[in-house]
Structure 1
Amino acid sequence: MDRRVFLGAAGGAAGGAVGLAAPALAQTQNPEIRWRMPSSFPRNLDVLFGSCEKLSQRVLQLTEGRFRISPFPAGEIIPALQVLDGVQAGTVECGHSPALFYVGKDPALAFFTCIPFGMNARQMSAWLRYGDGLALAQETFRPFNTHFLPFGDTGTQMGGWFRREIRSLEDLKGLKFRVAGFAGNVFERLGVVPTQIAPGDIYPALERGVIDAAEFIGPYDDEKLGLNRIARFYYAPGFWEPSSRGGFLVNLRAWESLPPHYRFAVETALAEIDIDQSARYDAWNPPALRRLIANGAQLRAWPREVLQAAWREAHALYDETASRNPQFKKVWDSYRVFRNEQFQWFRVAESAYEAFAFPAAAQS
């Protein structure tokens, strides 16, 4: 047989075999996958829950329609404050929830949302991406059978809605305050009675007098919850939430079983949401604040003695917690060094600029 004919025939046969196998191989490499993603936030919070919808749409697009993550608002399939439990147990594959909701499981989890007097959104991004932050987050979540990825940021939050003015530390004594995460422990040391209430339940709790005051996020979301209709004194800043990083929580086994390019699609979509979510809050909070004030909200700044006492108590609490919780100490040691260096740098450029330009613009 002519050798060239043989090779040609063999090549044709091989080509035919590859052609026949290609669809099966493509299906193996690009399987159809369906995940459920409960959120800790209700549907009407269109930035927070809207980010879940954006994630779903973007991942679907990046995987050519083969990986669908279906978002569910708080309480529809998992209670708002039990998203981590659902992910850990494998009841759902993933969830959208801030890590600070679960400080009762491990106080070290708070660092991956925010802590009182912590870093702002840009500084948090730097720590997570170019410091130890993300590796420490994944290490801290691993005992809960969960993989963690950042999921947007609200920026610095407001200090909440109060029925009466807070003029001194004494005015905080006995106050029933809805506040989330590690901040509750700090306020408790100031004489406050803290309580953690799911976002969708804040309004009725405030309306019925179960709580005296409540903090949530900022003007745009607070207006949607209608908190100004019950309490008129609106405090700034939310010194316990100088940023607030959302969490994409994934069952560890589900994450590790994903094809690598599907994991990359999720990571890409989340990186886009990090930029988009902050941009939306920055764009929409100013007009929302003007509307709130026009409708009777009384904007107030925290008394300096409250800020000073909160700073002292927060750092005392961090040191005490670190002395009995090795993981907390490990994260705090990394976080504190990075934060302090960031604060010094921002004083040189960002803060110096803002201290002049912001008041100047207000007077022009």
Structure 2
Amino acid sequence: MKYRTVGLAADVMNEMGMSVVQLPGGEIQPAMKSGLIDAAEFNNPTSDSDFGMQDVSKHYHLASFHQSQECFEVTFNARKFNSLSKEQQAILEYASEAENSNFYWHNTLRYADDLIKLKDKHGVNVHRTPDSVMKDQMKAWDVVVNRISAKDPFFAKVVKSQKSYAKKVMDYLLLNQPDYGLAYKHHFG
């Protein structure tokens, strides 16, 4: 399968046996239409429908470990940021944190609205990625991480830090958070 993705996801999908084609976002829909690629991932229901993916495919898969959600990022020039007063730095830090939450709340609703449009207006069949594929994705991720970590000590350090955080936080979240699917099924069928 010729599959469009970018970044580390390209390495993971290659490891899973896909032939990865890295294309800019604006070239995805025409590449699918022409047959250059068989499948693609871009971002979310809003961005994907803005690109017209519903015009070239009536199948849409959700859930992947490589991009399960987004966050808002503000990047500052370190020299410029450090030249600001402590008060100005604090304002920028708190404003960035607030906007990240705002971004998540508003976009989650937008994505839900646009997913409904994809299904109801455009006749797109929405599927959840099977657990078997998710497990294969994690195995491929392990191979990719080990390969890159062996060559790049900073990458290895970042992965170690992420895993330490995830082990601690996810242990708590998995015990504390209820199965929201159970509540959804109870109220909405």
State whether TM-score is above 0.5.
yes
Higher Rg of the two aligned structures: 1
Correspondent of 1:321 among 145, 148, 163 = 148
Whether 1:271 aligns to 2:97 is yes
**1:213 maps onto 2:59 in alignment:** no
Residue 156 of structure 2 aligns with an amino acid whose one-letter code is K
Considering fraction of residues, name the structure with more helix.
2
**One-letter identity of the residue aligned with 2:15:** R
TM-score normalised by L of structure 1: 0.48
1:336–1:196 CA distance, 2 compared to 1 (3 A): same
Pairing partner for 2:175 from 334, 337, 348: 348
Match of 2:62 among 209, 232, 236: 236
- RMSD of aligned C-alpha atoms? 2.1
Given the alignment of the two structures, is residue 187 of structure 1 paired with residue 10 of structure 2, yes or no? no
Q: What secondary structure sits across from 1:248 in the alignment?
A: coil
| 1:87-123 CA-partner distances (Å, limit 9, x unpaired) | xxxxxxxxxxxxxxxxxxxxxxxxxxxxxxxxxxxxx
**Superposition deviation, residue 216 in structure 1:** 1.9
Instruction: Name the CA distance, whole Å, in 2 between partners of 1:199 and 1:231.
Output: 16
Q: How does 1:351-362 map to 2 (within 5 A)?
A: 352-362=178-188
Cα 1:230–1:250 change in 2 (3 A) is: same
Per-residue deviation, 1:246:
4.1
Partners of 1:201 and 1:246 in 2: CA distance: 24
| 1:183 partner letter | A
Deviation at 1:196, TM superposition (A): 3.1
> How far 1:259 sits from its partner (Å)?
4.3
In the TM superposition, residue 179 of structure 1 has moved relative to its aligned partner by 1.4
TM-score, normalised to structure 2, is: 0.87
Alpha-carbon separation, structure 2, partners of 1:257 and 1:197: 39
> What are the equivalent positions in structure 2 for 1:31-180 lying under 5 Å apart?
175-180=1-6
SS of structure 2 residue aligned to 1:269:
helix
Report the identity percentage. 21
Q: Aligned pair count?
A: 188
- Structure 1 runs (4+) deviating above 6 angstroms are none
In 1: Cα distance, 2:36 partner to 2:91 partner: 43
Matched, 1:332 2:159: yes
Please identify which structure carries the higher strand content.
1
In the alignment, what sits opposite 1:308? 135
Could you tell me how far apart the structure 2 residues matched to 1:203 and 1:246 are?
25
* Local SS of the residue matching 2:29: helix
CA distance in 1, matches of 2:127, 2:76: 40
Distance 1:245 1:193, change over 3 A: farther
| 1:284 alignment partner in structure 2 | 110
Take 2:21 and 2:86, find their aligned partners in 1: how far apart are those partners?
41
d(CA) in 2 for partners of 1:250, 1:195: 32
Letter in 1 for 2:128: A
